């Protein structure tokens, strides 16, 4: 093994985790894939020196993540209630301009939209449209021809556009809308909540079949407002947190994280609220402070 192999792979590790996370929707599984691909790189380099470690690792990680995703999709067919991606949760920086946020490849709203895609479509779109991998290399990762992955990416692009906000929302606007919503919820102001919700708003709750959660999405401003008013009245501590680079909230009971809420804002209205309650998806969520 060459002496520069480990430093070169470590330099790519954060990007590779983002690639795998965008494909899988599970940060824990993404880290496992990247760790496993390091062993594959060592073995490959012993057979023949790997000249372009970044390109080799990107294709290998994507191919491994695609295999894991295909297996996961089979398991999710028997999942209890809606399945939501695992969030990346941490403390919120003091000022919006000082916030070090995740790039658009792992925004929570985007990860949710990617669940509409087939594993091959998702992998092709993530590699080409987010990480700018050329189609010949995408084809190698997906196991299709370059023309086939072009078609996969095109179909994926249409689905993603239909499932993500129409208007780009800056962090300050997102914070203002979410802050107003939390204030109305804490004060039991149902009318105020409704005014902040898009007419087609959807609330999804993922308990993983382990804890109580809504088994079906809650749709419409009135129903979502009542649901959220009930959620915020429950005992426990509420903290503002960073969820995949945007402000969300976390609920704690007896110092243990209970739920994480991600908000999707389109313009000045909330279009989605995703509540992650499955304990396995909250193990890496950091306690503020």
On the 0-12 / 13-18 / 19+ scale of CB atoms within 10 A, 158 is exposed
pLDDT tens readout for residues 7-42: 999 999 999 999 999 999 999 999 999 999 999 999
Domain that holds residue 73: 5-163
Phi and psi for 272 in degrees, rounded to 5?
-140, 145
Question: Tokens 């089979």 correspond to what residue?
Answer: 74
Residues 197, 155 share a domain = no
Report the share of the chain in percent with pLDDT over 90: 70
In the chain, how many domains are there? 2
Query: Where a domain ends, among 163, 180, 197?
Result: 163
Residues 63, 146 share a domain = yes
Q: Is 288 part of a structural domain of the chain? A: no
Say yes or no to pLDDT of 247 above 70.
Answer: yes
**pLDDT at position 100:** 42
Q: How far apart are CA 8 and CA 65, in angstroms?
A: 21
Residues 189, 53 share a domain = no
Residues 180, 133 share a domain = no
pLDDT tens readout for residues 141-176: 999 999 999 999 999 999 998 888 777 788 899 999
Exposure string of 34-55, with b = 16+ CB inside 10 Å and e = fewer, is beebbeebeeebeeeebeebee
Per-residue DSSP letter, 170: -
Residues 114, 239 share a domain = no
Residues 187, 133 share a domain = no
Residues 239, 176 share a domain = yes
pTM listed for this prediction: 0.88
Terminal-residue alpha carbon distance, the chain? 42
Q: How far apart are CA 187 and CA 42, in angstroms?
A: 57
């Amino acid at each position: 093994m060459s002496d520069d192999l480990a430093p070169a792979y470590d330099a790519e590790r954060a990007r590779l985790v983002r690639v795998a996370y965008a494909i899988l929707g599970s940060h824990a599984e993404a880290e496992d894939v990247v760790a496993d691909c390091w062993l594959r790189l060592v073995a490959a380099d012993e057979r023949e020196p790997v000249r372009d470690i970044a390109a080799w690792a990107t294709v290998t990680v994507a191919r491994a993540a695609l295999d894991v995703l295909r297996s996961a999709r089979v398991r999710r067919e028997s999942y209890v209630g809606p399945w939501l991606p695992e969030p990346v949760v941490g403390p919120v920086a003091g000022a919006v301009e000082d916030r070090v946020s995740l790039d658009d490849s792992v925004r929570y709203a985007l990860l949710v939209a990617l669940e509409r895609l087939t594993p091959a479509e998702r992998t092709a779109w993530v590699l080409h449209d987010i990480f700018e991998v050329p189609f010949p290399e995408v084809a190698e990762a997906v196991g299709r021809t370059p023309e086939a992955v072009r078609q996969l990416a095109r179909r994926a692009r249409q689905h993603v556009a239909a499932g993500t906000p129409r208007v780009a929302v800056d962090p300050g606007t997102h914070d203002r809308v979410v802050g107003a919503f939390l204030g109305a919820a804490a004060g039991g102001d149902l009318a105020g909540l409704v005014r902040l919700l898009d007419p087609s708003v959807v609330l999804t709750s993922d308990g993983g079949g382990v804890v109580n959660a809504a088994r079906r999405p809650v749709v419409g401003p009135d129903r979502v407002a009542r649901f959220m008013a009930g959620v915020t009245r429950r005992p426990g501590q509420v903290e503002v947190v960073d969820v995949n680079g945007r402000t969300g909230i976390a609920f704690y009971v007896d110092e243990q994280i209970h739920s994480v809420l991600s908000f999707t804002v389109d313009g000045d209205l909330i279009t989605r609220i995703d509540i992650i309650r499955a304990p396995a998806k909250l193990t890496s969520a950091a306690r503020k402070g």
